[in-house]
Amino acid sequence: MSQPKLLLKKKNVLSRDKLFKYLCWGSALCLGVTLFAIVLFISKTGFLVFKDVSIKEFFLSSNWQPEQEHYGAAVFIIGTFCLTALALVIAAPVSVLMAVFLAEVAPQWLRNLLRPVFDLLVGIPSIVYGYLGATILVPFIREVTGTLVGDGFFAASLVLALMVLPTITRISDDAITAVPSQYKDGSYALGATKIQTIFKIILPVAKKGIMTAIILGMARAIGETMAVVMVIGNTPQFGFNLVTPTSVLTSNIVMQIINVQFDSTWNYALYMMAFILLFISLVLIFIIRKLEYKS
């Protein structure tokens, strides 16, 4: 190939590389601007509620009666954290144990079978879990407990636990599998049993990856909407006995947003709830990034 053709080819390659670089920068900039615009719009709209409602009433009052100009969101905020915590208390230990089983105990053929199954469970739409909870779980709880409805924290937490379990399991499985083999070999060489090696060596080494998995599961649980709406009861009251209909931020937003005018205090209060959810998600993402940085 002649020298001019080589120079032309090299110039074309450099042009394509430069174009690709600009496309990457443009995509990152577009994503950043979009995220900033979403946060700005939601926060700006949400904070308008404090023109008519005091911060103390919004965050500390449990009196949610928008028709009478009462906008106490404490029920939904506390309910969101309680529901998420209860779901994780159920899902996290089971998920970690299943991850240990997949990575360290199960034979290879069973791992090859179960891992795609968990990947499939991650992709199931949340409304499917909610429908199964509303048609199977809630009637079962109602029959066992003798309550009138069966909706509440218990049903919602079980549905959420089932939803986040595959996510936590697969990420924890990857974290445990990534533990260097020399750690395990050294443990066995010192006379440790398999159980001792798992709980004294493997899990401590993989704890950052497992914590990341749990936080990601928490992020999904705290922002889940449709599945929760179908089994929690959607009533603005505390449901600490677990079988009383209650409500959380996501369920209250989705049930009421279509019934309000945009330029109303009611709508601003719902936007403030959305901003709280967004803020919690950003905090969880920040924690995950810190864990990755420390690792």
Co-location of 97 and 24 in the same domain: no
d(CA 284, CA 275): 14
- Please check whether residue 57 lies inside any domain of the structure: no
d(CA 242, CA 250): 18
- Please check whether residue 65 lies inside any domain of the structure: no
Co-location of 140 and 251 in the same domain: yes
- Please check whether residue 116 lies inside any domain of the structure: yes
Reduced DSSP (H G I as helix, E B as strand, rest coil) percent helix, strand, coil of the chain, to 5: 80, 0, 20
3-state secondary structure (DSSP) of residue 95:
helix
Supply the pLDDT for residue 75.
92
- Please check whether residue 196 lies inside any domain of the structure: yes
- Please check whether residue 197 lies inside any domain of the structure: yes
Co-location of 42 and 91 in the same domain: no
Q: Does position 40 have pLDDT exceeding 70, yes or no?
A: yes
Supply the pLDDT for residue 10.
60
- What are the beta bridge partners of residue 64? 71
Q: What percent of the chain has pLDDT over 90?
A: 32
Mean per-residue pLDDT, 202-216: 89
Co-location of 36 and 96 in the same domain: no
d(CA 253, CA 275): 11
Co-location of 45 and 145 in the same domain: no
For residue 8, the one-letter residue type is: L
The CB density around residue 278, as the number of other CB atoms within 10 Å, is: 16
Mean per-residue pLDDT, 260-284: 89
What's the number of domains the chain is made of? 2
Co-location of 79 and 199 in the same domain: yes
Taking alpha carbons only, the member of 216, 211, 232 closest to residue 133 is 232
Domain membership of residue 15 as a residue range: 3-51
Supply the pLDDT for residue 292.
64
Which H or E run contains 70? strand 70-71
- Alpha helix positions (H), 47-125: 55-60, 74-100, 108-122
Supply the pLDDT for residue 157.
92
Average pLDDT in the chain = 87
Co-location of 31 and 169 in the same domain: no
Q: Does position 286 have pLDDT exceeding 80, yes or no?
A: yes
3-state secondary structure (DSSP) of residue 71:
strand
State the DSSP code for 194.
Answer: H
Mean per-residue pLDDT, 216-222: 85
Supply the pLDDT for residue 169.
93
| Phi-psi region at 146: left, alpha or beta (left = phi > 0; alpha = psi -120 to 50) | left
- Please check whether residue 68 lies inside any domain of the structure: no
Co-location of 44 and 120 in the same domain: no
CA angle 214, 163, 140 (to 5 degrees): 125
Task: Give 22's pLDDT tier (boundaries 50, 70, 90).
Answer: confident
Supply the pLDDT for residue 8.
57
Co-location of 190 and 238 in the same domain: yes
- Please check whether residue 172 lies inside any domain of the structure: yes
- Please check whether residue 61 lies inside any domain of the structure: no
Which H or E run contains 64? strand 64-65
CATH number of the domain that residue 105 is part of: 1.10.3720.10
Segment 158-181, tens digit of pLDDT: 999 999 999 999 999 999 998 888
Segment 92-101, tens digit of pLDDT: 999 999 999 9
Whether 88 contacts 221, CB under 8 Å: yes
Co-location of 147 and 218 in the same domain: yes
Q: Does position 255 have pLDDT exceeding 90, yes or no?
A: no
Q: What is the pTM of this model?
A: 0.85
Between 27-36, 124-133, 247-256, 281-290, the lowest mean confidence (pLDDT) is in: 281-290
Co-location of 80 and 46 in the same domain: no
Co-location of 36 and 82 in the same domain: no
Mean per-residue pLDDT, 186-212: 88
